[in-house]
Structure 1
Amino acid sequence: MDDVSESAASSHSAGKEPIRAAVIGAGMAGILSAIKLNERGIDVVVFEKGDRVGGTWRENTYPGLACDVAAHWYTYSFARNPEWDSLMAPGPKIREYFEGVARDRGVLPRIRFGQEVVRLDYEGPGWRLATATGHEDRFDVVIVATGVLHHPNVPHFDGVETFNGAVFHSARWDHSVALDGKRIGVVGTGSTAAQLVTALVPRASRFSLFQRTPQWVMHRPNPAYTEAEKAAFRADPATLDSLVQELRTRTVEGYATAVIDQDSPQLAAIEHLCQENLEKVRNPELRRKLTPDYRAACKRLVMSDGFYEAIQQPNAELVTSRIDRIEPEGVRTADGALHELDVLVLSTGFQVDRFIRPTKVIGRGGRDLDDAWADGPEAYISVSVPDFPNLFLVNGPGSPFGNFSAIETSEFQAGYVMQLIDGLIRGDYREVSVTHEALRRFEDERQEAGRNTVWVTGCDSWYLDKKGVPTSWTFSYDRFVQEMAAPRMQDFETQ
């Protein structure tokens, strides 16, 4: 038993009330948080509004779904998986991985499925939690692990209710709808849309991709691992760790460095590769329509090994005229053309500024999180918000969305949070939250660093808030690791 677990256990023998923690969400970050809390002997309850674990990998089930981070890096450090079949893992396999970790690490019995948290009220020191079913409970600590790619962004099109076919968001896939031999339309051109194009063009009689803004696409091959390679990973964890380190280094020294420095040679190299990939489009007019007028990686870079090949197929069309309205037979565009469809998929992304909301969160002194975030969500080192003691976020505002492996960054953040919780276990304080001054200092520095990132070079993307300020981590990978190593307690107020 480690020192922290002994401290937690000794609180029972000393007659002190043991710490209770709630985790909101049973996706990647929620499973991780529950495991780390359980290691400390903390009584933890996970509240999940769905009926199974997996987060975004549970909710997204569309054809062609895959992760664009290398599979062996996209795993917990304490639960590496030697069984991945290819460099980039498909969505169902990733969901199975999280389900297996939750089962093997004892998380499943701690999850309350079908319990959507609708309200949190701070009752110092601790939180009163209420769910949509009427359940209420009190916890000393709350960890918010609700994710970012969670709330679908569903645009309204005039006449959509008149459409004779099926229409749904890509994150709410209707598997009862037949696809083979159908006329399929997809709205959007991001990573999800690129995967849909690659998967559905071979199945559709006619495929229409409705593009508002072209995307830069980097060719990402997806080689398979041989049984011999998988056997080597099983037999020698060091071999697998070496591969993970190679994948990490390649991404951090390439892409992660490129996005935070618009003048870097790494970004220039990415732009060259994207332009080279675009040359695969043989038709000059189609290539012109697919050419962005902004720098590569300004929007989230699309990784694909088949998008350009698929969109050039005879049964595929790229539609660049604006959607005017939806009619019973299909989509009418501004140029007057009617694109007849049987299925219309809205691949239009997510509301990435929601985080825990729409849950109502009332902090110390009646402070409403909606008011605190009226000008946009902010959190110190992405994990703490002033006036909301003992409330911690994993993958909160300012996290490295798209820069690194989300699992690796979540582990760093969870480790940081656990150090703050260790102080509660030891009895150093009963509540802890960042000061207003520390948050402002950090945010001013983060936003200033954002002025040199590629995200501000002339495109509109989900990396920017309504003021055009990057919402992601704008510093280096090394800075992230350093910040997460240990809390600077002078930046926190405790009682």
Structure 2
Amino acid sequence: MISMNVERNKLAVVGLGIAGIAAVKNLTEVGFDFGFSDFPYAAGDNEVPLRPAEVQAFLESYAHHFNIKSRFQLNTRVTAVHRVGNKWHLILKRKEGNQEEQAFDRLVVCTGLFQTPREPHVEGLDQFEGKVFNTQTYKKPDNVEGKRVLIVGLGATATDIARGLVGIAKEIYISHRHGCLVLPYGKANDICFPSLRKQHENANPEWGLGNAPSLPHKLPILGDGFYDLLLSGIVTLVPGLKQIHQSHVELTDGKNLEVDVIIFAIGYDRSYSLLGPYDPSRNMPQAWKDAPGSMGRPLPRLYQGIFSLDFPDSLAYSEHVGSTLSATINGDTASMALAQVWLGNSKLPSDEEMAISADKQNKMATDLANKGGVYDPALVDSLEWSLWADKVAGFGIQERLGYGWKAWWLRFTDPSLYKTLLDGKFLPQVYRLFDEGKRPPWKDARESLVKANELG
């Protein structure tokens, strides 16, 4: 049921990435005022992966289709957030340099994972005579044409950069210490399957992929032909970086490598500094700080990775949930759940219960950090979170995949859809299939889901 009479409905979303745009749409459709799953990719765009230009085109068409562009304030930086009475006051700095203050009833923070590039700490870095970039300062491959390039770090960004250098750089190396699972597109759920583990075990031992960390210690890479680049020798995996000299680097295996350019792709850290005294990571447990895998990163204390424990009725985050390998789905489902809570269709537990849940998440992250690392300190228990969101947002998926009457009814009335849900690809359209009286369903969700599965 959609209610258009929302109390305290003036809302600000800080950040206009995928999670931010989805939050604007999902909160707008239930009646909130602002100062993805129900919108398909264009026909013919079934080949994956989507390139950056295609993703941008999709997001622009998404915003146009749902008529939310007028709610965006572009070229505007939020420089500070203050709590005044029961309002959130945002200090905004425009592109032209002028500054203003606006007040909102509620605030959703969607500033993303990729805020602060991690600083490299390698002996001799200041002696290197070549060019040094990080993933924010490196803009285009023209800067390294004909050069010998060393990329430090093995993750999605590192492999994207390597692919972009093919045919441009003279030599391409990727230095890593712990390896990474490399998955083919469309097979993300196979991460737990022995076949993929076997694939890494049979890889060239010199690549160092055999002992790749598993989830949730490190996110896998979606390959897009990356293995082919390794097999062809176009990209070479080398051990970790030990020391940097004027024109070469020393690796942990003692070998030297002549390079002209070093690109550090060693990850990012979140920052909650914008929230000041309401920073959800301000009271991190000492056990987290002492854990080897914490690496000085902030650990937020939130309910279900979304709700502030200080002001759960007016301060939330919509990009912390890692229930799937898709950031698009995660941000979309989180903001759908958030909308139903703030709308009043679903209730939060007591303050004490929310605190216990947040502490449990913090302990899970700390335990992982003590066992070798955690890819995101804010990660949630995927199964537990999915069950919670299904009920709170009103997805209606779980009841149709179990043994209750809704599952039997779907199996009897629509066996094709039932089989698709059980055996097909778990795509975003699933979250808009059923009407449970909460988040709005999408009338074309079934057709779109079946078509996408038929395309393979």
Q: TM-score, normalised by structure 2?
A: 0.71
How do 1:321-332 and structure 2 match up within 5 A? Answer: 321-325=240-244, 327-332=245-250
For 1:206, give the aligned amino acid: E
8 Å CA contact retained: 2:9, 2:33 = yes
Select the residue among 333, 354, 374 that pairs with 1:439.
354
- The residue aligned with 1:309 is 228
Structure 1 residue 44: deviation in Å? Answer: 0.7
- The residue aligned with 1:76 is 37
Query: Aligned partners of 2:329, 2:229: CA distance in 1, in Å?
Result: 33
- The residue aligned with 1:167 is 132
CA-to-partner distance for each residue in 1:111-166, whole Å, 9 max, x for gaps? 22232223222223221111355321111111111122333223233443443333
How do 1:353-432 and structure 2 match up within 5 A? Answer: 353-354=270-271, 357-363=272-278, 369-373=280-284, 376-388=299-311, 389-396=313-320, 399-400=321-322, 403-423=324-344
2:29 pairs with 1:39: yes
What SS class does the counterpart of residue 420 from structure 1 fall into? helix
For 1:44, give the aligned amino acid: F
For 1:406, give the aligned amino acid: A
Select the residue among 134, 137, 161 that pairs with 2:102.
137
8 Å CA contact retained: 2:141, 2:168 = no
- CA separation of 1:435 and 1:151: change in aligned 2, threshold 3 A: farther
Query: Aligned partners of 2:48, 2:220: CA distance in 1, in Å?
Result: 18
Runs of 4+ in 1 over 6 A off after TM superposition: 447-451
What SS class does the counterpart of residue 208 from structure 1 fall into? strand
What SS class does the counterpart of residue 357 from structure 2 fall into? helix
- The residue aligned with 1:151 is 116
How do 1:211-230 and structure 2 match up within 5 A? Answer: 211-218=176-183, 220=184
Query: Aligned partners of 1:76, 1:124: CA distance in 2, in Å?
Result: 36
- CA separation of 1:448 and 1:278: change in aligned 2, threshold 3 A: same
For 1:4, give the aligned amino acid: S
8 Å CA contact retained: 1:118, 1:358 = no
2:390 pairs with 1:482: yes
- CA separation of 1:434 and 1:324: change in aligned 2, threshold 3 A: farther
8 Å CA contact retained: 1:446, 1:474 = no
Query: Aligned partners of 2:335, 2:213: CA distance in 1, in Å?
Result: 36
Query: Aligned partners of 1:177, 1:330: CA distance in 2, in Å?
Result: 22
Query: Aligned partners of 2:81, 2:392: CA distance in 1, in Å?
Result: 26
Identity of aligned residues (%): 20
CA-to-partner distance for each residue in 1:76-116, whole Å, 9 max, x for gaps? 32344334151321222112211222233333332222322
Structure 1 residue 307: deviation in Å? Answer: 2.6
2:262 pairs with 1:344: yes
- The residue aligned with 1:61 is none
Aligned length: 378
- The residue aligned with 1:189 is 154
- The residue aligned with 2:437 is none
Structure 1 residue 433: deviation in Å? Answer: 8.2
What SS class does the counterpart of residue 282 from structure 2 fall into? helix
8 Å CA contact retained: 2:149, 2:262 = yes
Structure 1 residue 404: deviation in Å? Answer: 4.2
2:75 pairs with 1:120: no
8 Å CA contact retained: 1:190, 1:302 = yes
Structure 1 residue 24: deviation in Å? Answer: 0.2
CA-to-partner distance for each residue in 1:294-352, whole Å, 9 max, x for gaps? 55764212221433332344565433153213x4424344566543223221111111x
Question: After alignment, is 114-123 or 439-448 more displaced?
Answer: 439-448
What SS class does the counterpart of residue 28 from structure 2 fall into? helix
RMSD of aligned Cα (Å)? 3.6
What SS class does the counterpart of residue 96 from structure 1 fall into? helix
How do 1:274-293 and structure 2 match up within 5 A? Answer: 274-281=197-204, 285-286=205-206, 289-292=208-211
Structure 1 residue 175: deviation in Å? Answer: 2.1
Query: Aligned partners of 2:85, 2:267: CA distance in 1, in Å?
Result: 38
- The residue aligned with 1:104 is 65
Structure 1 residue 206: deviation in Å? Answer: 1.8
- CA separation of 1:184 and 1:34: change in aligned 2, threshold 3 A: same
Structure 1 residue 291: deviation in Å? Answer: 1.9
Query: Aligned partners of 1:25, 1:189: CA distance in 2, in Å?
Result: 27
CA-to-partner distance for each residue in 1:395-434, whole Å, 9 max, x for gaps? 23xx125x243333323221222223324xx9x9xxx987
Q: TM-score, normalised by structure 1?
A: 0.66
Structure 1 residue 390: deviation in Å? Answer: 0.6
What SS class does the counterpart of residue 85 from structure 2 fall into? coil
Instruction: Name stretches of at least 5 consecutive residues in structure 2 with no aligned partner.
Output: 289-298, 395-456
8 Å CA contact retained: 1:22, 1:142 = yes
What SS class does the counterpart of residue 73 from structure 2 fall into? strand
8 Å CA contact retained: 1:395, 1:410 = yes
For 2:11, give the aligned amino acid: A
Query: Aligned partners of 1:171, 1:95: CA distance in 2, in Å?
Result: 18
Structure 1 residue 186: deviation in Å? Answer: 0.5
8 Å CA contact retained: 1:446, 1:475 = no
Instruction: Name stretches of at least 5 consecutive residues in structure 1 with no aligned partner.
Output: 12-17, 46-74, 222-246, 259-266, 487-495
- CA separation of 1:393 and 1:195: change in aligned 2, threshold 3 A: same
8 Å CA contact retained: 1:217, 1:301 = yes
Question: After alignment, is 330-339 or 78-87 more displaced?
Answer: 330-339
8 Å CA contact retained: 2:89, 2:101 = yes
- The residue aligned with 1:57 is none
